Structure 1
């Protein structure tokens, strides 16, 4: 049994916003939280409008909006209560998984609506489609759903030398948190399966061939952009003697590490990348 709240994403079916409903205000990649780490209620933010349905948390509807013109209002505008703007990486690390998932959906939905205000065909202003995460053009009837951006990441292992523990392939990127040792990852191309994307990304970035990837799990990942869905896999190197060769563009380093001697600079504990790494490490200890 668990006492964690249950978040169910959705785009409608809960009527208009009510005073006791949850309110998620998004400014860029930041959200407004109370000093106690809780989301405000609609009643706490009387000056806000344009609420968009996000789903329910333990049956309580949650709504998202953005400050006027994308500005960050003073936190003392929160009906006299203490509040703070919190960046997405910090928020995802602080909150339980269901609350982080709700916050991630708020970032994705509000950011997507901001970047999809106008019709790309006739330039008319788009309107929301009731009950859907979609917009429609009243001029030419163009239908614009909120699209997901699937990406893959893979924990690649190989047998260790002379009966030593297996080794895990870790890489360092030329962008983002460059100090971290992470997994090979990349976006899925149109017409490509998830498994084919794993093979292609590993071949392109480190020049290795793999056995058939095995599905591990998935995680929405607003940190990489609106609608990003990470799908994790495990695989082994087809040639256990092969060494990685970085592409020199996205990656600057790639190394095999013994699973019982991984570096300290790993992805954060709330990420599927870390879940994959910890799962591989746990398999060695059993």
Structure 2
């Protein structure tokens, strides 16, 4: 039976076949085929450094680290551009290839004894032949929180949106931040909101997750919805990460929102649709 969708994996027990998917990575860009998807191994002969990254609808997919100076001819695109136009399984595969190649490039040497690391067969991991240090591809978890409060009498509810001092500074986005060691995801949501906008939360509820190559290879975004503990409280930005924070009626959100392929936008759209049904 054919496996549907994308499945991450590291099975390198057989060499790449000509019909397998090929995902060359140069820096932070990936090579795409003329049809806008990805080429096949047989279309890129002469490479012996393919690394398994999983399967797409049962077809094995392989990535390779290509020096930018020797980048193959073709259309090289960032993950942001790819995710904006490709169906979800392909965008996730591209993010996985970018994560694996970048991790291998930056984890060649043992951080304990400086020996060269060796691949662990069947895993996305390396081990030091000298001191046996085990180095898997680690994920960095981050949370996003869609905070709502009731609107004025007879009016729709309101959503808190913020503008950051970095990245796409024109966008109105959600409060977000990385998980610290020793924290649960829910505790991170409370801490980040308290630190960045000075608000306390009620009803913190898990929404979903998304691998996210924009924040760096190996980032996993986890989304939550929550309500403001004090509906009358006004946000106070921290002045470092945020430049502005504002309550918006859910039926009059700004146009400058995160892209449609992001979990941030999924959260915003979900709370807006929920409010419209109430």
Give the 3-state SS of the residue equivalent to 1:98 in structure 2. Answer: helix
CA distance in 2 between counterparts of 1:161 and 1:72 reads 60
Residue 5 of structure 1 contacts residue 98 of structure 1 at CA under 8 Å; is this kept in 2? no
CA distance in 2 between counterparts of 1:108 and 1:205 reads 29
- The TM-score normalised by the length of structure 2 is 0.96
Residue 14 of structure 1 contacts residue 61 of structure 1 at CA under 8 Å; is this kept in 2? no
Deviations 1:167-222 (A, max 9, x none): 00000000000000000000000010000000000000000000031000000001
Consecutive unaligned residues in structure 1, runs of 5 or more = 76-82
Moved more, 229-238 or 116-125: 116-125
1:30: which partner in 2? 29
Structure 1 segments of 4+ aligned residues over 6 angstroms from their partners:
none
- The CA RMSD over aligned residues, in Å, is 1.3
Residue 173 of structure 1 contacts residue 252 of structure 1 at CA under 8 Å; is this kept in 2? yes
The reply to whether residue 115 of structure 1 matches residue 114 of structure 2 is no
Moved more, 124-133 or 10-19: 10-19
CA distance in 2 between counterparts of 1:74 and 1:217 reads 37
2:80: which partner in 1? 89
Residue 199 of structure 1 contacts residue 210 of structure 1 at CA under 8 Å; is this kept in 2? yes
Give the 3-state SS of the residue equivalent to 2:135 in structure 1. Answer: strand
Residue 83 of structure 2 contacts residue 261 of structure 2 at CA under 8 Å; is this kept in 1? yes
Offset of 1:19 from its aligned partner?
1.2
- The TM-score normalised by the length of structure 1 is 0.94
Consecutive unaligned residues in structure 2, runs of 5 or more = none
1:211: which partner in 2? 202
Corresponding residue pairs, total: 275
Match of 1:132 among 92, 116, 123: 123
2:16: which partner in 1? 17
Offset of 1:72 from its aligned partner?
4.7
1:184: which partner in 2? 175
**Where in structure 2 are the equivalents of 1:188-267 lying within 5 Å?**
188-267=179-258
Offset of 1:128 from its aligned partner?
0.8
CA distance in 2 between counterparts of 1:125 and 1:218 reads 34
CA distance in 2 between counterparts of 1:54 and 1:134 reads 12
1:71: which partner in 2? 69
CA distance in 1 between counterparts of 2:230 and 2:187 reads 18
The reply to whether residue 280 of structure 1 matches residue 271 of structure 2 is yes
1:7: which partner in 2? 6
Give the 3-state SS of the residue equivalent to 1:240 in structure 2. Answer: coil
